[in-house]
């Protein structure tokens, strides 16, 4: 069997066109384009390239973006005061603090300082709580992107057995909640580093989502033939043949799985583009809610 490649890039392009139309309609209705503010502290090259990609995607969708760049030496007070100023700024509909921060011990406090109505990353406890309760909320972009890829690729989830590898607060855990929600209706197994016999849980699954941050976590012998594989991982693997000295790889043995899986997302070009599209969607949604909310 040769797996169908779930092309996140073209699925995301479809979605981005829809979002651009919504942003244009909101602009026309309210006289102002939706606006995103991105806080970037420090000079981590991966964070820099993620922020640039997000800003480019905003521009293409008719969303204004503003970058607040802080030095790596910026302390807790500087970052908190930048976030609080953005909370008060009426021109800003969505706020994104690019993680990791140089001092990761303050991340939770920074996220909690954000106005939940502008938390387009969906990391604030208010949004997480509302998501768990099935109430309208900003949902974290990567898990939302995984669901959106599967939905647009018409992979059935209702009643399906889905195994998620990884229980991080930004990917695996919220994804497990979304998948089991009414309306999505998957039966979810959430695996992590303490899981005994990972392959037992992946072999029983119709869909396996890998978000472990380790190349080669899922191999061909670990799935049943025809299963769908979503690879969330983004790893920089040393590669002397490239000018950059590295290549991007996911968490799966992609070449091996291609012969066994029914469908698989590539890295790059799978979940990544959809994650960015979900950020745009949340930003337009934040703008709509703020501008149309009853006074």
Which residues are annotated as catalytic? Answer: 54, 98, 121
* Binds ligand NAD by CB under 6 A, chosen from 195, 216, 247, 290: 195
145 phi and psi, to 5 degrees? -65, -40
211 near ligand NAD (CB under 6 A):
yes
94 near ligand NAD (CB under 6 A):
no
Three-class SS of 65-112: EEEEEECCCCCHHHHHHHHHHHHHCCCCCEEEECCCCCCHHHHHHHHH
Cα-Cα end-to-end distance for the chain = 57
3-class SS shares of the chain: helix, strand, coil, % to 5? 45, 15, 40
How many residues sit close enough to ligand NAD to count as binding (CB under 6 A)? Answer: 25
Q: Give the separation between CA 240 and CA 15, rounded to whole angstroms.
A: 36
Quick one: 26 or 143, whose CB is closer to ligand NAD? 143
Q: Interface with ligand NAD by CB under 6 A: which range of 68-76, 126-134, 180-188, 189-197?
A: 189-197
Quick one: 128 or 191, whose CB is closer to ligand NAD? 191
Site for ligand NAD in 261-280 (CB under 6 A): 271-272, 275
Tell the smallest beta-carbon distance from residue 266 to ligand NAD (Å): 11
192 near ligand NAD (CB under 6 A):
yes
On whether the CB atoms of residues 157 and 207 are closer than 8 A, the answer is yes
Produce one character per residue of 146-166: b if its CB has 16 or more CB atoms within 10 Å, e if not: bbbbbebbebebeebebbbbb
* Binds ligand NAD by CB under 6 A, chosen from 168, 180, 181, 187: 168
Tell the smallest beta-carbon distance from residue 267 to ligand NAD (Å): 8
Of 150, 117, 152, the residue nearest 136 (C-alpha): 117
Quick one: 15 or 234, whose CB is closer to ligand NAD? 234
218 near ligand NAD (CB under 6 A):
no
Site for ligand NAD in 236-255 (CB under 6 A): none
On whether the CB atoms of residues 45 and 74 are closer than 8 A, the answer is no
SS3 38: strand
Report the interface residues with ligand NAD, using CB under 6 A.
142, 165-168, 170-172, 191-193, 195, 198, 211-214, 217, 232-235, 271-272, 275
């Amino acid at each position: 069997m040769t797996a169908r490649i779930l092309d996140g890039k073209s699925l995301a392009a479809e979605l981005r066109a829809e979002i651009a139309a919504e942003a244009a309609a909101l602009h026309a209705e309210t006289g102002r384009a939706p606006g995103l503010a991105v806080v970037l502290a420090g000079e981590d090259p991966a964070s820099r390239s993620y922020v640039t990609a997000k800003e480019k995607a905003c521009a293409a969708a008719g969303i204004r973006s503003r970058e607040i760049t802080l030095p790596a030496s910026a302390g807790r007070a500087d970052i908190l005061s930048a976030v609080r100023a953005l909370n008060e700024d009426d021109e800003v509909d969505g706020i994104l603090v690019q993680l990791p921060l140089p001092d990761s011990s303050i991340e939770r406090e920074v996220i909690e300082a954000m106005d939940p109505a502008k938390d387009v990353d969906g990391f604030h406890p208010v949004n997480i709580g509302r998501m768990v309760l099935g109430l309208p909320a900003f949902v974290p972009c990567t898990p939302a992107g995984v669901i959106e890829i599967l939905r647009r690729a018409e992979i059935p989830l209702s009643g399906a057995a889905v195994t998620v590898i990884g229980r991080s607060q930004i990917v695996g855990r919220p994804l497990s909640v979304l998948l089991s929600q009414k309306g999505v209706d998957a039966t979810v197994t959430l695996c992590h580093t303490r899981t005994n016999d990972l392959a037992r849980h992946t072999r029983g699954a119709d869909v396996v989502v890998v978000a472990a941050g380790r190349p080669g976590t899922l191999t061909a012998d670990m799935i049943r033939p025809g299963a769908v594989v979503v690879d969330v991982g983004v790893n920089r693997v040393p590669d002397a043949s490239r000018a950059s000295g590295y290549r991007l790889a996911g968490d799966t043995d992609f070449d091996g799985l291609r012969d066994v899986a029914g469908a698989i997302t590539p890295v790059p070009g799978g979940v990544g583009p959809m994650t960015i599209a979900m950020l745009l969607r949340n930003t337009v949604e934040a703008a709509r809610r703020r501008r149309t909310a009853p006074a």
